[in-house]
Amino acid sequence: MDDLKREIYIFDIDGSIMPSIFKNFNTGEKRKNIIREAIKNGNQAGLYPKFIDFYKKNCIRAESIYFLTGRRYKEFGKLTENQLQILIEFRDFRMIYYPERKPYKSHKYFAWKAREIKKIIKKSIKSGKTHGDVKENFVFYIFDDLNDHFPRIRDFEDKYKVKIHLTLIDNTDIWNNML
């Protein structure tokens, strides 16, 4: 029986594929001031060049690509689309923004992110079909600078018989090492 490898890439944005536009959330500053500063920082920030190289090299053959972000669409949709525009010429992707009405607390954010990743895994597997004597193997590549939600995802590997590669992006050199 032949194996057909179906790759799905899931990337966090801030701190993983580009510098974080959020400098400090815990200052007691009003949200609108934090948003204003984040947009200013975002207009100056770009994707890590080695991430773009990684994307061109590896994501071309991917079945699906997702970007998850703690940014809300209403506040950061236009900025985010501008920042990721360069990637469109290589391969389409899907953006998933943090819900507009959900309060922003770290535990809610990590629970939301884990749920979204689980939805992607379930949806991908459900859409998968076996073709004659070809067995499809799903491989999920997940990249994030915060790993608090990784344990919530790890149990899906055995439950759904898929491979999940969780990569913690702890510095920009990781993209150099992955090329």
Q: Give the chain's radius of gyration (CA, Å).
A: 17
The stretch 81-86 carries a mean pLDDT of 92
**What are the tokens at 140?**
């999920």
What is the number of domains present in the chain?
A: 1
CATH of the domain at 69: 3.40.50
Angstrom distance (rounded) from CA 160 to CA 163 = 9
pLDDT tens digits for range 104-113: 777 888 889 9
Question: 166 pairs with which residues across the strands?
Answer: 142
Question: Could you tell me if residue 173 is inside a domain?
Answer: yes
Question: Could you tell me if residue 27 is inside a domain?
Answer: no
Question: Could you tell me if residue 14 is inside a domain?
Answer: yes
Question: Could you tell me if residue 159 is inside a domain?
Answer: yes
Which residue segment(s) compose the domain that 154 sits in?
A: 2-20+47-178
Question: Could you tell me if residue 40 is inside a domain?
Answer: no
Question: Could you tell me if residue 37 is inside a domain?
Answer: no
Share of the chain above pLDDT 70, in %: 89
User: What is residue 101's predicted lDDT score, i.e. its pLDDT?
Assistant: 87
C-alpha torsion angle, residues 72, 45, 60, 173 (rounded to 10): -120
pLDDT tens digits for range 109-163: 888 999 999 999 999 888 765 454 445 688 999 999 888 888 888 888 888 888 9
Question: Could you tell me if residue 78 is inside a domain?
Answer: yes
Model pTM?
Answer: 0.88
Q: Of 44 and 85, which is predicted with more confidence?
A: 85
Angstrom distance (rounded) from CA 66 to CA 94 = 5
Question: Could you tell me if residue 63 is inside a domain?
Answer: yes
The stretch 80-109 carries a mean pLDDT of 89
- Per residue, the 3-state secondary structure of 106-135, as one string, reads HHHHHHHHHHHHHHHHHHHHHHCCCECCEE
